[in-house]
Amino acid sequence: MKISDTIGVVLKGKDENRVLSIGPEQSVYEAIEKMAEHDVGALLVLSNHRLVGILSERDYARKGILMGHASRETLVRQIMTSPVVFVSPRHTVDECMAMMTEHHFRHLPVLQEETVVGVISIGDLVKWVISGQEQAIQALEGYITGAYPG
């Protein structure tokens, strides 16, 4: 569990690698309802199984509420972020963390060719890094106390 690990490895290690999505012609209300139901902060926007955007709670707050758009009358396509920054399973944890920090977002779709294979959140990456640090600490403690197999 290192920052040089690939996102493909991280996806395999996730408890649940579900891809939650909404269509661009659905209402923002439906999207918010789905986010609440699944306790997530963003949905991929798919049209004919292709990634066309991403809708986050931040999009809703800034482009919906603050602009006076009613969620039941506003379509997802009107406030979604597009084009979407995405990664492949070959990107590393470190590369993804740098992208998320630079662009100020918390979710990255993972595409293999043009097919969505998962979504990585900043929380997923932080958990991965912390787990790696815990393993390194345990190994060092074992080495120091002589319990480390030599």
pLDDT at 115: 94
Query: The pTM is what?
Result: 0.83
What is the band of 103 on the pLDDT scale with cuts at 50, 70, 90? very high
Q: Which of 22-31, 120-129, 133-142 has the lowest mean pLDDT?
A: 133-142
Q: What is the pLDDT of residues 50-98, one digit of tens each?
A: 999 999 999 999 999 888 888 999 999 999 999 999 999 999 999 999 9
Contact 90, 115 (CB under 8 A): no
Res. 131: pLDDT tops 90:
no
Sequence-separated (6 or more) residues with CB below 8 Å from residue 47: 23, 24
* CA pair distance 119, 109, nearest whole angstrom: 4
Q: Is 120 exposed, middle or buried (0-12, 13-18, 19+ CB in 10 A)?
A: buried
* CA pair distance 117, 111, nearest whole angstrom: 6
pLDDT at 130: 84
Q: What is the pLDDT of residues 23-59, one digit of tens each?
A: 999 999 999 999 999 999 999 999 999 999 999 999 9
Q: In terms of C-beta distances under 8 Å and separation of at least 24 residues, what long-range contacts does 64-67 make, across chains too?
A: 64/28
- What 3 state SS string does 105-128 have? CCEEEEEECCEEEEEEEHHHHHHH
